[in-house]
Structure 1
């Protein structure tokens, strides 16, 4: 697959998962060095743009590839095995596009999704619902935005942002979209976590930013429909597949190291580390952490696809049952990502901790990203439903 800029959907023919695998191979070649350096991965984000995968979830009616959600999530997982930071940026691009489809009017969907295809737009996020420091005030054209948004993943280098802002009069938030380079928008490249270093998740400042009513996806005071609340499930399943990809990437790194470089323990009585029954046993245990998580993630993706295509016909009951399936997948993926990325070192040994391998990035990335929202509340939701049948309350996280 050529990596030259692809101009139209017809030029992007071929299996998108093959394209994702080839892109992952390119990202893997520099992943360790870039993780150590941090900062903005401008060249690598250009590769993502050039791959054509930014149109993957856009319906064919708007010029996109019209892929189903299971395919989108597989692409995220493939990229996360190599570079979970850029897989996050890629996944959150598609989260913004999902929001347009779930919240936007028919005219807004056609406008923004068609422009994304025609202009190869890269979307970023400034919708952190827990950060209410961005204020929307009424204006004759719509609203004026002032304030700051934290954890704005993918904001650096983006073309458009999805934003949320607090509206005091209605004591509620609005959701809208603005061009990243619009006057008054200032993206700050100040993300400094010890993992997920290249997610461009710093702060975005808004100073007297105009938000026309035509760019408001959800007006303040509007009650979200069951369909609109699917956005949180799209987001949670992106995270589950990121964690799975991290765990799978760590597992493959350990497997390769054991086969090529690990030395057997002197008391094992074997000539190769991979022949040690204790190593084989532990590798089997790691596989058993990943495999069930993958099965549940794939099942949840199929359920999301089914409900997403129902559109406005989605019921609250169906949405709640999907939230349970996504919660199951998220919990197991969370555990698999953190535990596998940590436990591999017990199999690969002291030499594998050398900075030249960078195997620690898998754990650091998993540890940072799994702090996004407390997994214990997912487990609480699952337990409560098992006891009394209560479905998860629709929020930005459940």
Structure 2
């Protein structure tokens, strides 16, 4: 049954949060079972398609809703509170739309934006710059062939478009292309079976002599070629921050409900109810402090990023560095906060909360899996280099 009534379909930007909350409530009902089974959340992804949220970040002139990044990331956070796998594929969809905007020519992203809004396309990932097993071979006719394997292809299954990368066999240059997921020669595998983020379909892909036309390649201005183009990895990091914050908030809500309704007071506590135990209250006080601190750091980083996005080609290297620093700071805090709360939540719920059927460990498993995406120590190194030497983080696909 379609859970989105006509009243909850997205007709304008002001409806976005209500629509997302409606979807998140539906996702929460099946999150435990879907975490157990893994695989593709096809039904839930189709609900997102039907909702209109896939056009959220697309400008109105191309059929979208002209959302600010605050709006998009707020939806990511709402989804992550219920199911961070769906938050992941939704967020990466908008990251890929940003990728074609930042790396591609105007005529390219205008066309892809229109088609995405019109057809409710989902964009998936086959861009992994550290995985250089896919080779781009130039052909005499002026096009390229991509051949090789890709890992961590989040959301590629059940997508209409892919952002894919390959390395030129002659020059070592990185090529990035936007191509239909169903193009001949592409095989997407259901081989993602990790402890967390179990429905992100972050498995592998094989490219066998996939034809890549010049119109598919994002060459103008190209990847990380200008301060504006180098905002792409910073948006990816902002997405992770909001996913981690959403997971921590979801875990906090689950723990709060369990403590109030299920947990038993420890016999030495001299209180009748678990929610009156002074040590339990101390934990919740620390949780709240961490969450409130992270929320403020997150808002600061989003504001910095949006200002940089609005500057577009006028963005300077120094301004880009300021954004990178604010996002690195929030990323470290988000990593620490999410891992701590999703672990210590059991200390305020008690031993019975570890019952396997509850799968309350899914919050920790999800952030543990995703926080390993890039080592947080290197974010601390970047922050330290600023604090000691006044040097901004260098632009890369991870900073």
TM-score (normalizing by structure 2): 0.96
Match status 1:270 vs 2:271: yes
| Structure 2: distance between partners of 1:217 and 1:309 | 21
**Residue 319 (structure 2) aligns with:** 318
Shift in CA distance, 344/316, structure 1 to aligned 2, threshold 3 Å: same
Match of 1:261 in 2: 262
Note the C-alpha offset of 1:170: 2.5
Contact 1:160/1:179 (8 A) holds in 2: yes
Aligned to 1:115: 115
Q: Secondary structure at the match of 1:271?
A: coil
The residue that corresponds to 1:368 in the other structure is: 369
2:382 matched to which residue of 1? 381
Q: For each residue in 1:117-175, what CA deviation from the matched residue of structure 2 results, as whole angstroms up to 9, or x when unmatched?
A: 00100000110010011111112242111011100100111110001110132321011
In 2, the alpha carbon distance for the partners of 1:187 and 1:19 equals 30
Match of 1:131 in 2: 131
Counterpart position of 1:61 = 61
In structure 2, relative to structure 1, the CA distance for the partners of 1:120 and 1:4 (3 Å cut) is: farther
Structure 2 residue aligned with 1:94: 94
- The separation in 1 between residues aligned to 2:343 and 2:370, in whole angstroms, is 15
- Indicate conservation of the 8 Å contact 2:301/2:327, yes or no: yes
Deviation sequence 1:287-322 (CA, Å, 0-9, x none): 112111111111111111111111111111111110
Is 2:72 the counterpart of 1:72? yes
Q: Closer, same or farther in 2 for the Cα pair 1:361/1:115, shift >3 Å?
A: same
Does the Cα contact within 8 Å between 1:173 and 1:221 map onto a contact in 2? no
1:23-70 CA-partner distances (Å, limit 9, x unpaired): 110000000110011111111111111111111111112111111001
What is the match of residue 83 of structure 1?
83
SS in 1 for 2:342: helix
Q: Tell me, which stretches of 5 or more residues in structure 2 are unaligned?
A: none
What secondary structure, in the 3-state scheme, does the structure 2 residue paired with 1:131 have?
coil
1:308 aligns with 2:328: no
Q: Give the gaps of 5 or more residues in structure 1.
A: none
Q: Secondary structure at the match of 2:229?
A: coil
Partner-residue secondary structure (3-state), 1:146 = strand
Q: SS at the partner of 2:357?
A: coil
**Contact 1:174 1:219 (8 Å CA) reproduced:** no
RMSD: 1.8
Residues 3, 26 of structure 2: 8 Å contact kept: no
TM-superposed deviation, 1:218 = 2.6
* Deviations 1:219-274 (CA, angstroms, capped at 9, x unpaired): 79977111111000000010011111111111110000011111111111111111
What is the SS of the residue equivalent to 2:244? Answer: helix
Cα distance change on mapping 1:221 and 1:101 into 2, 3 Å: closer
CA distance in 1, matches of 2:351, 2:3: 40
Paired with 1:222 and 1:48, the residues of 2 have a C-alpha distance of 29
What is the deviation of 1:4?
6.0
CA contact (8 A) 2:228 2:309 kept: yes
Give yes or no for the alignment of 1:197 onto 2:198: yes
Question: Does residue 1:288 correspond to 2:289, yes or no?
Answer: yes
Secondary structure in 2 aligned to 1:36? helix
- State the 4+ residue runs in structure 1 displaced beyond 6 angstroms: 219-223
Q: In structure 1, what is the Cα distance between the partners aligned to 2:246 and 2:222? A: 38
Contact 1:146 1:209 in 2 (8 A): yes
Give the TM-score, by structure 1 length.
Answer: 0.96
For 2:392 and 2:59, locate their aligned partners in 1 and report how far apart those are by CA, in whole Å.
30
Which residue does 2:153 correspond to in 1?
A: 152
Q: Identify the residue that residue 47 of structure 2 maps to in structure 1.
A: 47
Give the 3 Å change call, closer, same or farther, for CA 84–307 of structure 1 in structure 2. Answer: same
Instruction: Tell me, yes or no, if structure 1 residue 27 matches structure 2 residue 27.
Output: yes
Equivalences, count? 396
The CA distance in 1 between the partners of 2:257 and 2:181, in whole Å, is 42
Does structure 1 conserve the Cα–Cα contact (< 8 Å) formed by 2:224 and 2:230? no
The 2-side partners of 1:395 and 1:17 are apart by 32
